[in-house]
Amino acid sequence: MAYKNEIHSTFKSDNGLTIFYRHRKADPERARLVIAHGLGEHSGRYSHVIDRMVDKGISVWTPDHQGFGKSEGKRGHILRFDQYLYDLKKMIEIAKDTLPQGMKCFLLGHSMGGLMVLFFAEKFSGMIDGVVASSPGLRPAIKVPVIKGAMGKIMSSIWPGLTFDNELDSTNLTHDMDVVHAYDNDPLVHRRVSARWFTQYLSAMEETIQSAVKINVPVLMQVAGDDRIVDARASRLFFESLTANDKTLFFYDGLYHEIYNEITDHRQQVLNDLENWMDDHI
C-alpha cells in the first residue's frame, strides 16, 4: 500500500540485487530517520511509526532487506550478515543526500533490524547521530538445541541456500490479535530462513555483544519485558555494557515482542517514549 506523499524507489545492493524502499518527507523537516525491519516482515508494517515520525518533522526512509518484502533475493537467505549492513549504509547515504547543514540522521531497527542497527553503529558510527533498537535480536528467547545448531553449521557449509521454517509463533508478537491476523495473512510476510542465514545471524549476535564498547553515539533501547521471541535479559546486559555517555533504556513489563504494535494504550506509550527521545536529540 502506498500512503499519501510516500515515494517508492529502489537501489542496487553491492551483490547486485534490487532493494526496494519507501520514503516519506516531513514538511517542515527537523531530522531524518532510516528504519530497519525485522525477520520475515517488510517496511510496509511500519506505516504507523512513519506517521508519528513525519508528524514530528522527521523524514523517513525504510528499505525491505534483501530476501524480504519487495526486494530481490532468495527469501530469508544471506551469505554474509554484513550484506545487510552495506545495504543500510547505502540507504543512509540516500537519506543524507542534500542533508541541510546541522540536521541529524538517526537509525532505528526492530528485532533482527535492532541487531542490525546496533551492529551498524559499532562499525559505521560516524554516519549516524543516534541509534534506536526495539526488542533487538541479541539472543533468541529459547536456546537453540545443540543438535539443531550443529546441523545448521554443517548445512551452512555444504548447502547454504537450504531454507526451513523460522518456527516463529505469531501469537507471541503482540497482544493485539488484529495485528496477528494481519501478519498471518500478509502476502509479503514469509517464514523462511536459510542454513547460512542461521549461522551468520548467530555470528552477528556474538560480534555485536562483544563490540558494544565501540558504540559512541546516543542509544535508545526499547525492550519488551515479556518477549517470547528474543531474550530481554540479553538486551539489559548489552545496555549495561555500553560505554556511550548518552544511553537510555525503556523496559516495558508485560509487553510482547512487537512493542510498536501492542494494544493501543501500550503502543501509544512506546511511541511517545520514542518521540520524546527523538525530540531531545534533534
Residue 58 confidence (pLDDT)? 98
The single residue of 77, 110, 257, 266 carrying the catalytic annotation is: 257
1 is a domain residue: no
Residue 158 confidence (pLDDT)? 84
Residue 167 confidence (pLDDT)? 87
The yes-or-no answer on residue 156 being catalytic is no
The single residue of 64, 82, 227, 231 carrying the catalytic annotation is: 227
Peptide bond into 28 cis (omega under 30): yes
Quote the cell numbers at residue 63.
528499505
Here the CATH number for the domain that contains residue 102 is: 3.40.50.1820
CA 60/CA 9 separation, integer angstroms: 13
Quote the cell numbers at residue 236.
539489559
Q: Mean pLDDT, 10 residues at a time, over the chain (282 residues)?
A: 77 98 97 98 97 97 98 96 98 96 97 98 96 97 68 77 88 97 97 93 96 97 97 97 97 97 95 98 96
100 is a domain residue: yes
Phi, psi of 97 (to 5 degrees): -60, 130
Residue 165 confidence (pLDDT)? 86
Residue 5 confidence (pLDDT)? 84
Residue range(s) defining the domain that contains residue 199? 6-281
The yes-or-no answer on residue 110 being catalytic is no
CA 89/CA 276 separation, integer angstroms: 26
DSSP 40: T
The yes-or-no answer on residue 111 being catalytic is yes
Give the total number of structural domains in the chain. 1
249 is a domain residue: yes
244 is a domain residue: yes
Residue 148 confidence (pLDDT)? 67
Nearest to 114 by CA among 12, 234, 3: 234
12 close to 19: Cβ distance less than 8 angstroms: yes
Q: Give the helix/strand (H/E) hosting 116.
A: helix 112-123
CA 152/CA 282 separation, integer angstroms: 43
Tell me the longest C-alpha to C-alpha distance in the chain.
55
pTM reported for the whole predicted model: 0.95
The single residue of 13, 43, 71, 111 carrying the catalytic annotation is: 111
62 is a domain residue: yes
CA 124/CA 146 separation, integer angstroms: 33
